[in-house]
Structure 1
Amino acid sequence: MTTPVRRAGVFAILCTLALAVPLGGPWVGIVIAAAIVVGAFAVTDGPLFDLLAYPGDYEDGRLYGLITFALAAVALGIVAVTTSMSVAVFVGTVLLIGYGNLAEQIARRRTDDDVLRSGAFCLVATGGAVVGQTLTHEFTDSIGPLESVASTFPAMIFLGASGALLAALLRDVLLSHDDPIVMLAVGLLCWLLAELEPTLTTAGIVAALAITIALGYASYALETASIAGMLTGILLGLLTIVLGGYGWFVVLISFFGIGGLSSKFRYEQKTELGVAEDNNGARGSGNVLGNAAVAIVAVLGYAASSATLFPGDPDPNLFLFAFTGSVATAMSDTLSSEIGSVFETPRLITTLEPVEPGTDGGVTWQGEIAGLAGAAVVGGISYALFPEVTAVGAAIIVAAGIVGMTVDSLLGATLEGNVLGNQGVNFLATLSGALICALLVLSFAMLG
């Protein structure tokens, strides 16, 4: 057994000690964590140090990886016992990280396939989270006997899978010894999702996972998304289906599908012009989040308003239009840049002077038409799927997409490169599309 696997196994065992909190109370957990931290400070060399040390720990002769991991668990545990976060979420998160890491290290020893490694992490991490939540409920009798636990099983799977996907994503873009950051991020996400109290069935969550995983892998196989982009897309898709519904998911996946394929449009020509996406057009997590972060916040807002977590009980439909407006912007902007960039010499949107292809803020009339078509696609899908979206509502969605696309170009011509990066511009553009769409709908409702 290799040292990384052994270290991961020891960390998994230490993570299992999180069960001491539901068994003996928070003080027992704090005592155990304190003992681990003191022991980590005391062990500075020898076989035990070699077993537990990350590569960076050797420089100072301290088990900083173990110390920060234990402190992160303590911090999350304190949040769990002092706020509305359940202890089950805390225990599930800690086991998710520990056993997911062990599975990934074992898979890393047996295969070089990054997809299989990520899959092993997510599968075992989800199982660890579900087991941790189930045992916590049993130890604390927080929801009654095992039969009652079974009724919450779909929600446990949802929390575990969502946490596992976020953890796998963060581990892909961070370093292996950044697990304390990963643990805190996963715990906070699971806390938020638990507060939304999603209504699920076992068949429903299994179907949602099957659909999102299949489409996510297809995007990777078609080279329209990297590993990180695939994981991000699966996570966003899962949240959208569970918290919004399949109609919301169809709108979102239309952008991922059409937008991803548009990056392949005349790719060799775009490469020659210097305007092609890197990595053979495969989009990473930054690109996916830059275009879809506002949309997923709208989904979370919709779920929170439906669960009456917002003061004042805002109309959930406003979040629906914010969602569609942001996706229309992302679709419009993506098609405009991916298709318009291979035609005539672009002109800077602020001065209309000819500029080199790929210049931030450069537009072509072909790109503008493609952007209009992209917004129209989102407006049409929304009109077909949502009874709340009338013909006027669909027109508002299209208008919001065009406004957002224009904002993207204006920001590109004025702020991109100096103040903002490409993902920041995408985020602000989709935010403007979401706000314009929601405000226009609200204005028409007040006038009506």
Structure 2
Amino acid sequence: MTSTLRRAGGFAVVGTLALAAPELGRAAAAPFAIVALLAAFVVDEGPVFELFARPQDRRDGRLNGLAGFALAATGLALLSTIPQRSMPTDVFVAAVFVVAYGRVGARVVERLDTTKDPGRTTAGYGIAAFLAALVGQLAVGWNLGTPPALPAVIFLAAAGALVAALLRSILYARDDPLVMLSVGLLLWLFDAIGVDAALPEVGVALAVTVALGYLSYRTGTASVPGMVTGVLLALLTLVFGGVGWFAVLIAFFGIGGLSAKYRYEEKRSRGVAEDNEGARGSGNVLGNAAVALVAVIGFAASGSMPMDGELFRFAFTGSLAAAMSDTLSSEIGVLFDNPRLITTLKRVDPGTDGGITWQGYVVGVVGAAVVSGVAVGFFAFGSPWLAALAVVAGGVTGMTVDSLLGATLEGGRVGNQTVNFLGTFAGAVASAAFAALLL
């Protein structure tokens, strides 16, 4: 085995200590706390040090990577033993196993794959993390005598693997403690919301979203982080929302991704083409869909909140209508000459932040109408025409806000992703507000 694969195996062995949590009870954090102390202050040479040491560890003379990994596991273990509303033990084990075994999968693929395709490495990480989290949850349930529901187990394992794979694709190896803590807290939230879907529905949701993610990566419409982000968003939308929510999301991703490829060479010659051959990265995906994700999670949790779940539905569709409007108006509008700055109507160069063309604006309105049509087709709105109007109004509002922010704030510390997020947020608020007034 290569040194990196041996090291990954060593971390997996340490992570397996999480299985002792049901037996240890309130002392579940003890094994990881001991490992952290040994790594930070005791082991500075010998075979154990050589097994776990990264290059920076050798320079520092202590196992910082192992100490950080063990401390993160210690923190999650403590959360699983607090007196009230503690993190479920199976969630704690799943979070540790996702990180501990995910890296083993990635290292195995790296060793076997001669092409060094980052997509395959990420897939290896995700598959190993998913299987480990699945086995870990089932083992805890068997040990405690309370087998968890299989749909929830599969969903949490998949969600944890995708979150970890996403963070791993954009962070450094030394950031594993952050990955573990993030996975643990998110899985705790998802577990608290609950999974009402049946096993076939969860299985189909996972298969469909992974297949679409693979297709988006192979067709060049998404980078590796963008692919993983899209799969995660789609899975959460299908499980917490349903087919209608998923259809709206896919309409945006599909049409928006194709619009980035539309007449790409002409856009490149004009100097207004997106980087990376138009492939969406994680920042682009989250900038356009983070508000929608919050809305679908809010809808799933609305049963225990003093809020109307229907407003979350309009916030979801309004945010994606805004994202669709902005994407199409930008990708199509840059192909036309004589754009004008939205704040002054003075002519500017194509691609200038805040620059608009009437053709692009019209296409943006059409994009909002497409999202509206999909939403009305799948959702049982009491008054379809008023609901459609609310969604279109949200989309156009978000597109306009995005252009205004682009003309006034974008550049320097405020980037395009932040502007996209604010535009979709404006679309969500506007759509929900119009729905509250009209319906």
TM-score band (shorter)? over 0.9
Alignment map for 1:59-138 (pairs within 5 Å): 59-82=59-82, 83-111=85-113, 112-138=116-142
2:406 alignment partner in structure 1:
412
The answer (yes or no) to whether the contact 2:321–2:368 under 8 Å persists in 1 is yes
1:309 alignment partner in structure 2:
304
Q: Distance in 2 between matches of 1:157 and 1:373?
A: 38
1:326 alignment partner in structure 2:
319
Q: Distance in 1 between matches of 2:429 and 2:226?
A: 26
Is the counterpart of residue 35 in structure 1 residue 34 in structure 2?
A: yes
Is the counterpart of residue 217 in structure 1 residue 214 in structure 2?
A: yes
2:365 alignment partner in structure 1:
372
2:349 alignment partner in structure 1:
356
2:425 alignment partner in structure 1:
431
Q: Distance in 2 between matches of 1:301 and 1:37?
A: 37
Which amino acid is the alignment partner of residue 432 of structure 1?
A
Q: For structure 1, which segment, 57-66 or 408-417, has the greater mean C-alpha deviation from structure 2 after superposition?
A: 57-66
Which amino acid is the alignment partner of residue 38 of structure 2?
G
Which amino acid is the alignment partner of residue 95 of structure 2?
T
Q: Deviations over 1:73-120 (max 9, x none)?
A: 011111122133201100111112111111111111111222222222
TM-score, normalised to structure 2, is 0.96
1:10 alignment partner in structure 2:
10
CA distance 1:249–1:36, change in 2 (3 Å)? same
State the Cα distance separating 1:347 from its structure 2 match: 0.6
The answer (yes or no) to whether the contact 1:349–1:363 under 8 Å persists in 2 is yes
Q: Distance in 2 between matches of 1:261 and 1:115?
A: 21
Q: Deviations over 1:387-440 (max 9, x none)?
A: 126111101111110111000000000000134110000000000000011011
SS at match of 1:223: coil
1:335 alignment partner in structure 2:
328
SS at match of 2:44: coil
SS at match of 2:4: helix
Q: Distance in 2 between matches of 1:105 and 1:136?
A: 27
State the Cα distance separating 1:44 from its structure 2 match: 1.4
The answer (yes or no) to whether the contact 2:25–2:81 under 8 Å persists in 1 is no
Which amino acid is the alignment partner of residue 22 of structure 2?
P
Q: Distance in 2 between matches of 1:84 and 1:47?
A: 38
Q: Deviations over 1:54-75 (max 9, x none)?
A: 2221221111001111111011
SS at match of 2:197: coil
SS at match of 1:417: coil
Alignment map for 1:233-244 (pairs within 5 Å): 233-244=230-241
Q: Deviations over 1:271-314 (max 9, x none)?
A: 12221110000010000000000001000000000xx222x2x1
Q: Distance in 2 between matches of 1:93 and 1:408?
A: 37
1:55 alignment partner in structure 2:
55
SS at match of 2:414: coil
Q: Distance in 1 between matches of 2:29 and 2:234?
A: 37
Q: Distance in 1 between matches of 2:331 and 2:407?
A: 17
Which amino acid is the alignment partner of residue 337 of structure 2?
E
SS at match of 2:345: coil
Q: For structure 1, which segment, 108-117 or 426-435, has the greater mean C-alpha deviation from structure 2 after superposition?
A: 108-117
The answer (yes or no) to whether the contact 2:390–2:432 under 8 Å persists in 1 is no
The answer (yes or no) to whether the contact 1:291–1:330 under 8 Å persists in 2 is yes
Q: Distance in 2 between matches of 1:309 and 1:78?
A: 26
Alignment map for 1:285-296 (pairs within 5 Å): 285-296=282-293
2:280 alignment partner in structure 1:
283
Q: Distance in 2 between matches of 1:136 and 1:106?
A: 27
Q: Deviations over 1:331-371 (max 9, x none)?
A: 00000000000111211000000111111000001100110
Which amino acid is the alignment partner of residue 348 of structure 1?
L
Is the counterpart of residue 257 in structure 1 residue 254 in structure 2?
A: yes
State the Cα distance separating 1:375 from its structure 2 match: 0.4
1:271 alignment partner in structure 2:
268
Q: For structure 1, which segment, 90-99 or 404-413, has the greater mean C-alpha deviation from structure 2 after superposition?
A: 90-99
1:196 alignment partner in structure 2:
193
1:245 alignment partner in structure 2:
242
The answer (yes or no) to whether the contact 1:54–1:177 under 8 Å persists in 2 is no
The answer (yes or no) to whether the contact 2:131–2:157 under 8 Å persists in 1 is yes
SS at match of 1:345: coil
Q: Distance in 1 between matches of 2:352 and 2:80?
A: 49
Alignment map for 1:166-181 (pairs within 5 Å): 166-181=163-178
Q: Distance in 1 between matches of 2:30 and 2:432?
A: 51
2:386 alignment partner in structure 1:
392
Q: Distance in 2 between matches of 1:419 and 1:42?
A: 43
Which amino acid is the alignment partner of residue 263 of structure 1?
A
Work out the percentage of aligned pairs sharing the same amino acid: 53
Q: Distance in 2 between matches of 1:69 and 1:172?
A: 18
Q: For structure 1, which segment, 167-176 or 54-63, has the greater mean C-alpha deviation from structure 2 after superposition?
A: 54-63
The answer (yes or no) to whether the contact 2:299–2:312 under 8 Å persists in 1 is yes
The answer (yes or no) to whether the contact 1:295–1:324 under 8 Å persists in 2 is yes
SS at match of 1:228: helix
1:382 alignment partner in structure 2:
375
5+ residue gaps in structure 2?
none
SS at match of 1:25: helix
Q: Distance in 2 between matches of 1:444 and 1:81?
A: 48
2:181 alignment partner in structure 1:
184
Which amino acid is the alignment partner of residue 19 of structure 1?
L
State the Cα distance separating 1:37 from its structure 2 match: 1.9
The answer (yes or no) to whether the contact 2:15–2:100 under 8 Å persists in 1 is yes
Q: Distance in 1 between matches of 2:371 and 2:320?
A: 7
Q: How many residues align?
A: 433
TM-score, normalised to structure 1, is 0.95
SS at match of 1:263: helix
Which amino acid is the alignment partner of residue 26 of structure 2?
P
